[in-house]
């Protein structure tokens, strides 16, 4: 349930009154889509906590689907807002949980190797196709990994955009975008805290505070952390993290605001890399076994600093500049691949390979500036135009033990594994590759409102990343310049207030190999993969905002995938292609004053239209065609349901049911993961008007399911767990 902020009045602000109202019987209805949208700098209200509320938030300006700060009703695309109040109410502690359990069509493909942040949507999987943003700034993917942000405590809201977004953010977003919008400094005092204990000796906390320092200064600080023994039989399931964030805003005059913020995150996730398949399944007898080494290690340290300047001198002009710096240090020291041996001298044992030690040292800094112009031509015709540029420099050094000779391997008992220790073979740990990527882009987006019923939205971006890559062992050097110009055009038709029909055509690009900044020397010779999408849909708010629903249909095609030449399997060409088409629907409904339902469904058909690989070498080389197969980690049905019922005064119950369809672990579609249903149950009790005790049971029916894997092992999701928490906000 939503905990209110108590606004503390001062003698200089007699209009503000304290409020501890808990239930909102009637949410405010969306503004008419014909009204001018505020600029992106005004996408949050003066409180700094945004305008988002439980529901689809079709009337809330966003910064993810458009640089013009349009609301979802005004945007010809699938844009969804996940409010922070909803995330906290459902006790979703990570960004991945919040997105996959609330947003339509998103599923997790998280693993320790991708920072536990991998996502799939609209038939496309991984960081190379589903981009991560923090406060509107993209995080460049290094070796398929993004480790920040991960904690949902400091999020005011999370915005998602489904479908190509390269016109807004560059390469790597054909599937979609996830943007974590942090809490901002407030012009009133607000404080909150949470403590929780759970099964597996789990302890977590969250604290936050915001308010004015003076008439010109305001602040926001947040801290959260978790520590747990995990659900594995031994210490391999231990995990801990702490996330710190702070921001100060300075407003010397009404039209100008400067905000300086910093985030620091430390995370040691569990070192569980998977469970081996035995005859195609995972027996209960090994469900909680870990096959990692005793001296395992996984650690991520992320640091983010941002300086944002917002200037709104007139109603027709505004300027926003954002400068930022991100540093990331990551380290892995594990054995990661497990294969059960059915026959041979080691029958009944698990073969362990991929004795991997890797370190990433990444630094990204850049600047984004955009200017917005608004004009009223009379006769109901209005126009909004944003133009700007984006520059980045990303340095990345990969240190590893790759190339070990001979390749280390070991065998352990499947039912009583002895961890053992890391096997060090030459050449040992050392720097392998270093890259410096410089990127610049110019972009423009325009919204032409021809009448209160019809608006046209178009955008274009010229993006030019340049990769400099050094092989630190051989001294080899590769320089590659890329250039792409994605664009989109769409229309929104609003025949009556709060009912919008839309259509859009958009293009996008994805990097070959998952990330531009860590392209291999071989893949640097190829062009970026290109894509296009057609989408139509309808959105509506009704019952004065108590009900909202959306419906979208899309068709995406992605070309220029690497695939062997059918006439010569030794030659790799950019002739591969994959496609996805589907339907997505979402609804949020305040059924009665005490009963609320929110849910969504996504149904899609994804396949490789043309794609193959080569097995063997030389005269034994053989072409294996995967055309017609479904890409890995892509389900074709996803359903989320949430029901909240205030069944007694001071009591509210929650039911969440997620159903995810089958997925494949391999491109050959020979290893299928079965569908699964996860049920989460919770009950809240209001101790006072601004505090509550909550008891939650996650995965209540102890469903055994996987979130990732390969042909020989699955990465299982956590079993049933419970948590008791106390939260206060004042």
* 35 band by pLDDT with thresholds 50, 70 and 90: very low
Q: Among residues 664, 575, 665, 663, which one has the least CA distance to residue 623?
A: 575
- Across the range 210-225, mean pLDDT stands at 97
pLDDT at residue 688 tops 60: yes
- Does 427 sit behind a cis peptide bond, omega within 30 degrees of 0 on the bond before it? yes
The pLDDT tens digits for 323-372 are: 999 999 999 999 999 999 999 999 999 999 999 999 999 999 999 999 99
- Residue 75 confidence (pLDDT): 97
DSSP strand pairing (78-83 vs 155-162): antiparallel
- Residue 615 confidence (pLDDT): 82
- Residue 41 confidence (pLDDT): 34
The sign one gets for the Cα dihedral 617, 621, 622, 624 is positive
pLDDT at residue 176 tops 90: yes
- Residue 1 confidence (pLDDT): 45
**Euclidean distance between the first and final Cα of the chain, in Å?**
15
Residues 6+ apart with CB under 8 A from 14: none
The pLDDT tens digits for 569-625 are: 778 889 999 999 999 999 999 999 999 999 999 999 999 999 998 887 766 778 899
- Residue 25 confidence (pLDDT): 33
Q: Using the structure block, give the residue that is written with the tokens 């720097």.
A: 431
CB 132 within 8 A of CB 304: no
pLDDT at residue 417 tops 60: yes
- DSSP characters for 299-355? EEEEEEEEEEEEEEEETTEEEEEEEEEEEEEEEEEEEEEEEE--SSTTTTEEEEEEE
- Residue 51 confidence (pLDDT): 62
- Across the range 291-310, mean pLDDT stands at 96
pLDDT at residue 62 tops 60: yes
The kind and range of the H/E element at 241 are strand 239-253
- Residue 69 confidence (pLDDT): 93
670-702 burial, b for 16+ CB within 10 Å, e for fewer?
Answer: ebebeebebbbbbebebeeebbbebebbbbbee
pTM: 0.92
CB 484 within 8 A of CB 442: no
Q: Among residues 247, 208, 248, 250, which one has the least CA distance to residue 225?
A: 208
**Percent of the chain with pLDDT strictly greater than 90:** 84
pLDDT at residue 37 tops 70: no
pLDDT at residue 16 tops 60: no
The kind and range of the H/E element at 726 are strand 721-729
The pLDDT tens digits for 76-133 are: 999 999 999 999 999 999 999 999 999 999 999 988 889 999 999 999 999 999 999 9
Q: Which residues are bridge partners to 124 per DSSP?
A: 121
The pLDDT tens digits for 235-290 are: 678 999 999 999 999 999 999 999 999 999 999 998 899 999 998 899 999 999 99
pLDDT at residue 663 tops 70: yes
Q: Among residues 223, 517, 181, 496, which one has the least CA distance to residue 361?
A: 517
The pLDDT tens digits for 491-535 are: 999 999 999 999 999 999 999 887 999 999 999 999 999 999 999
Whole-number mean pLDDT of the chain? 91
Structure-model confidence comparison of residues 623 and 557, the more confident one: 557
- DSSP characters for 637-691? EEEEEEEEEEEETTEEEEEEEEEE--EESSTT--SEEPPEEEEEEEEEEEEETTE
pLDDT at residue 26 tops 50: no
pLDDT at residue 3 tops 50: no
Q: Among residues 174, 315, 239, 119, which one has the least CA distance to residue 707?
A: 119
**Six-digit token pair at 456?**
């046209």
pLDDT at residue 308 tops 90: yes
pLDDT at residue 49 tops 80: no
- Residue 708 confidence (pLDDT): 87
Residues 6+ apart with CB under 8 A from 96: 108, 110, 116, 117, 119, 150
- Residue 61 confidence (pLDDT): 95
pLDDT at residue 568 tops 90: no
**Percent of the chain with pLDDT strictly greater than 70:** 93
């Amino acid at each position: 349930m939503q905990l209110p902020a108590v606004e503390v009045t001062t003698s200089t602000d007699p209009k503000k009154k304290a409020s501890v109202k808990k239930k909102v019987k009637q949410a405010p209805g969306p503004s008419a889509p014909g009204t001018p949208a505020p600029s992106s700098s005004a996408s949050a209200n003066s409180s700094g906590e945004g305008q988002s509320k439980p529901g689809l938030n079709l009337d809330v300006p966003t910064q993810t689907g458009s640089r013009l700060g349009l609301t979802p009703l005004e945007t010809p695309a699938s844009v969804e807002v996940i409010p922070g109040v909803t995330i906290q109410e459902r006790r979703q502690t990570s960004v991945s949980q919040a997105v996959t359990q609330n947003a339509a069509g998103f599923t997790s493909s998280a693993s320790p190797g991708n920072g536990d942040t991998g996502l799939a949507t609209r038939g496309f999987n991984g960081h190379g196709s589903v981009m991560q943003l923090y406060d509107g700034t993209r995080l460049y993917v290094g070796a398929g990994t993004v480790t920040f942000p991960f904690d949902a405590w400091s999020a005011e809201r999370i915005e998602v955009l489904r479908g190509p977004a390269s016109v807004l953010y560059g390469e790597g977003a054909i599937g979609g975008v996830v943007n974590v919008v942090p809490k901002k400094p407030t012009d009133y005092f607000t404080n909150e805290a949470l403590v929780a204990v759970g099964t597996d000796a789990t302890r977590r906390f969250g604290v936050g505070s915001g308010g004015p320092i003076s008439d010109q200064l305001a602040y926001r600080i947040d801290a959260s952390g978790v520590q747990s023994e995990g659900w594995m039989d031994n210490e391999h399931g231990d995990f801990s993290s702490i996330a710190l964030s702070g921001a100060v805003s300075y407003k010397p005059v009404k039209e100008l605001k400067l905000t300086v913020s910093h985030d620091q995150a430390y995370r040691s996730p569990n070192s569980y890399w998977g469970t081996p398949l035995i005859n195609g399944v995972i027996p209960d007898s090994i469900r909680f076994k870990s096959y990692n080494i005793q001296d395992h290690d996984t650690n991520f340290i992320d640091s983010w600093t941002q300086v944002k300047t917002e200037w709104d001198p007139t109603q027709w002009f505004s300027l926003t500049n954002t400068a930022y710096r991100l540093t990331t240090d990551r380290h892995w020291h594990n054995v990661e691949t497990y294969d059960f041996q059915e026959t041979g001298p080691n029958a009944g044992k698990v073969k362990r390979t991929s004795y991997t030690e890797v370190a990433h040292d990444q630094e990204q800094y850049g600047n984004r500036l955009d200017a917005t112009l608004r004009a009223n031509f009379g006769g109901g015709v209005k126009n909004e135009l944003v133009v700007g540029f984006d520059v980045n420099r990303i340095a990345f050094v990969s240190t590893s033990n790759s190339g070990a000779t001979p390749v280390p391997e070991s065998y352990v008992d499947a039912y009583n594994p002895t961890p053992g220790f890391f096997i060090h073979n030459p050449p040992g740990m050392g720097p392998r590759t270093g890259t410096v990527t410089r990127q610049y882009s110019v972009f423009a987006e325009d919204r032409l409102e021809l009448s209160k019923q019809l608006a046209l939205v178009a955008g274009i971006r010229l993006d030019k990343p340049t990769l400099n890559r050094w092989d630190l062992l051989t001294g080899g050097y590769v320089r590659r310049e890329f250039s792409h110009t994605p664009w989109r055009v769409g229309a929104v038709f609003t025949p009556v207030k709060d009912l919008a029909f839309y259509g859009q055509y958009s293009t996008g690009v994805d990097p070959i190999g998952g990330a531009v900044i860590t392209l291999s020397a071989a893949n640097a010779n190829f062009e970026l993969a290109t894509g296009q999408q057609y989408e139509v849909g309808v959105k509506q708010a009704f019952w004065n905002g108590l009900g909202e629903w959306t419906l979208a249909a899309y068709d995406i095609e992605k070309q220029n995938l690497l695939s062997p030449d059918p006439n010569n399997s030794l030659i790799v060409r950019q002739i591969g292609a994959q496609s996805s088409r589907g339907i997505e629907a979402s609804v949020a409904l305040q059924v009665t004053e005490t009963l609320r339902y929110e849910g969504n469904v996504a149904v899609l058909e994804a396949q490789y239209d043309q794609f193959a690989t080569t097995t063997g070498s030389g005269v034994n080389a053989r072409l294996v065609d995967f055309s017609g197969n479904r890409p890995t980690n892509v389900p074709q049905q996803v359903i989320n349901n949430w029901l909240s019922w205030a069944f007694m005064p001071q009591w509210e119950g929650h039911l969440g049911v997620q159903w995810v369809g089958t997925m494949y672990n391999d491109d050959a579609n020979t290893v299928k993961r079965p569908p699964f249903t996860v049920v989460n149950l919770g009950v809240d009790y209001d101790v006072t008007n601004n505090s509550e005790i909550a008891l939650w049971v996650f995965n209540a029916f102890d469903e055994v399911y996987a979130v990732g894997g390969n042909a020989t092992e699955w990465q299982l999701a956590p079993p049933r767990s419970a948590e008791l928490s106390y939260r206060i906000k004042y």
